[in-house]
Each structure stands twice: as structure tokens, then as C-alpha cells.
A and B are shown apart, each in its own frame.
Chain A
Amino acid sequence: MILYDYVLSASCYKVRLMAALLGTPLILRAVNFHPAREHKSPEMLALNPKGTLPILQDGETVLTDSADILRHLTMDHPEWRSPDDDRWLAFASDLNESLGLARLHDVIGYEADIDTARAAGVTALRKLEAHLTEQRFDGLIFLTGKAPTIADIACFPNTALAPDGGFSLDPYPSIRLWMRAVRSLPGFIEMPGIHRLHELAHPA
């Protein structure tokens, strides 16, 4: 499987992270999204007329929606699926317009209605915090239950990278513990903006 990838994209990271957790090898093709806008080049548009990333190519199959890609990667891994995934995949997709957009604005100067994006981002974080808090009352740490599913992997990147876009995660204790649980999963890989859990390695 080939992933057309941009190293700083939260959506591409969803795919890299899911594959890493599954132990599924990916061939990464770096796309110069910034500054060269290579995702809008004729070669990339031929592959994905929407001109977006990520793009997953698996034989004849070409997928361009990160939720579809997560479903595709976990096709034979029912343990990574829950009946509640769909609403969280939709929630994760909406995060691109709030947390994700504010991040692109603050980091690489993307044009955005930043006040609207910030307000929507805070609303989304509060909703996530409320849900994860109720999960904890039931002894559950992940979005849909005791074990992580594609719902968690879809929502994790934009949430964990929210500080890049000027959001403070300080007031959300349940989000913090959930992120830590995701970061502690065997096979977890980080991306810039999300540090390694150094406490887990190399005691001095």
C-alpha cells in the first residue's frame, strides 16, 4: 500500500498511526504540500481530482477520505471497530474545520475565519471532554469502550495537535488521560507537535 503523505498533515498522520498500530507496512511518498502545493500538481490531481491528502493506493483501489482509509486498513481487524465509530469519524472530520484550520492558520499562514474556527474548536473540545468524562464514570477510557477503535485514531491527531493552533488543552483532564492512553498503545508513533512519552523508556 502506498500513502501519499505530508509529514505535518493531521489527516495523513491518522493513516500512518493506524497502520503503525496494526503493524501494516506503508510505502510513504512525500508530497510537498507546503510550500510547493504539490498536492495540486497535475500528477496528484490525476490521482485525486479533489487535490487533497492523504491518498491511499492499494492495488487498483484509490481512497482519498481518511475515514474510508481507516475503515480500509481495519477491514480484517474487527477489534478496531465499534458500532459507534461512525459518529466519531464524522466528529473527527469536522475537527478539520476548527482545530485543524486554526493550526494551518497559525503555523503556515492559511487564510481562515480564525475567530469562527477557534470558537468551534472550543465547542468541540468541550464535547469531547464531556463524553470522555462520562466514559470514565463507566470505567472506560476510549471513545467507544475499553479498547481503542478507529474512532480514537480519527479524533486523536487534531485534538493532540490543537496547541499548534493556539488552543490550550490544559482545562480538559479527561482528554489528557485519553491522549495518554492512545500514546501508550503498543506500536504508537508520534508526529511533530506530539512528544514521545519519555517516561516509558530508558530510565537513567
Chain B
Amino acid sequence: MNTAIENHWYPVAMISGIDGPRETLLLGKKITLGRKDGTCWVKDATGKALPTVERFGHLWTSPGQPNRDLFTIPEADSPGRRLVDVGSVKVKCSPLRAVENFLDIAHFPFVHTDILGAEPHTEVDRYDVKIREEVDEVWATKVKFYQPQAAKSAAGGITTEYMYRVPAPTCSVLYKTCPPRPGEWDIITLFVQPLTDEWCEVWPWMALYDDESTMSEMVSFQQLIFMQDRSILENQIPRKLPLDPGMEVPTQADMTSVAYRRWLKKIGYTYGAQLVAA
């Protein structure tokens, strides 16, 4: 029992997708979940009820005793946003690799070509990164990148501004320039369920201002983006995320990933991490 790992909240299902009882894995252990009289429940393999939270369209649970509430995203509650259940994709990689990839912009021209990036617009300018001690979260701000089609709602190429937030070890929230409403942020999240330390189920969720696109179009757009990442994530060696410097070489563009790895090490979050260079 490692409380630094078990005392977190983890996404385990999209609430609208729960019909009958279902088995899944959390941190390598079998759990069962379902819904009765409109309320979701989760049990561990011994039949013991686990704590639950229903938030952001997803069911969250914890195998331990979380010492704080699941994080919130107050901006997502503002009126006029459309909440998008993207569904899940399974990936054979460490949950931490999946989060780190979400925090990275330098891959856009090569992996999300002509959508989130395109050559020759490959340069990543300096941005601000910090571990906000008072909330124990990683934040990257003033991240700017040229994007040919930043969102389903974007009409053409724009320089997009991003803010990244890591409020929990396997979750990230992205605040991104909203093409139809300059001055507001679109919210795109990546909630990662660690099935095991080398296998995860990824639940993206979005809260967007977009009055034009159909719900199916917004879901398609985000699934397209994430499936482009999946073929990368399944081909990184090792599958676990190396936390010790030396095994992988970062540059200035990787400041968010460097801070994320440092923060994981600081809070003792080692599930899906590789601590000693192989």
C-alpha cells in the first residue's frame, strides 16, 4: 500500500456510458462499477465500497483515502459552454507518458500535421512554468504556438495561446484560445485511468464555446487528435516514464515536462515511473 499513489482520485468511467455493472482495472487491481437509482457505485475485488465522486461527466474513485476533494475547474461551469464526452481510448503505455505527451506542443507539426501544427512553424518560444506550492499543481502559462486548425471551430491558421495545468498525477487541464470567442478559454482535459503501470484508459473531456459544430463533430475532432498521439505513445521506450535525469534529454521546449517529472518525484508518485536508468 503506497498512500502517495492510492490516495488520489482516478477516472474510471464516463457516467453517460454506464449501463450495467462493469469490471475494469485500477492500479492493476480489479474493480466493479455501476449505477443504481441514479447514483454510481464502485467496489473493490473484496466487495468493499470505494469512495466516489461524479464530476466532469465522469465517475471518479480512489482505492485509498483521498485527503482532499477532487480538483475543480470553475471556468467549465460558465454558461454557454458545451460539455463534450469524448469517450475513451486504451493505450499500452504508462499513464504518465500519456499525460506528458498532452503537455507537449513541440510534436504538433509532426504528429498533428496541418491541424495543431505545421512546418516550418516549429519553433517553441520560452514560456512560464511553475509548481504552485499552495495548490500543489504544475502550471505552464504564456505558451504560444501557430496552429493551422486549432479547433473544430477555427476557420484558418491562428497563433494559439495555451495554459496547462496538472492538478493530479494522471490528469491535465488545458486552457486554450477559443477561436469564436477571443478573450475566453476553451477547456480540454485529459483524464487518465491507470489500468496498470504500462496500460491506461484515456478519457478526454471538453467544455467548449462552439455554437456551430455538431456534438459528433467535436467528438470526432478530439478522437482524431488523440489517436494520432496513440501511435507515438505505444512506441516510446521504455513504456514507463523515466523520472531520473540522464535517460532522456530535454530542451527548453520541454520545461513543462521537466517540471511534471520533478513534481511527480517530489510527491512520491512512482506508479508508471522508472526511477533508475536502465
Contacts and interface: CB of A to CB of B under 8 A. Distances in A.
Contacts of B120: 202, 204
B90 A35 contact: no
A186 interface: no
B224 A35 contact: no
Given A7-B223, A38-B216, A201 B228 contact: no
Contacts of A38: 216
Contact of B214 (A7, A30, A35, A191): A30
A196 interface: yes
How big is the B interface, by class? Answer: 20 to 34
Nearest to A35: B87
Given A8-B224, A164-B231, A192-B228, A108 B111 contact: no
Contacts of A204: 119-120
A166 B113 CA distance: 24
B227 A8 contact: yes
Interface string A56-70: 000000000000000
A196 B89 CA distance: 22
A109 B225 CA distance: 19
Interface string B28-49: 0000000000000000000000
Interface string B226-249: 111011001000000000000000
Nearest to B119: A202
A32 B216 contact: yes
A163 B110 contact: no
B17 A6 contact: no
Nearest to B221: A7
B220 A107 contact: no
Sorted nearest first, the 9 A-B pairs with minimum C-beta distance are: A35-B87, A192-B227, A202-B119, A32-B216, A30-B216, A7-B220, A30-B220, A30-B217, A192-B228
Interface of B: 14, 16-17, 85-90, 92, 110-111, 113-114, 119-120, 214-217, 219-221, 223-228, 230-231, 234
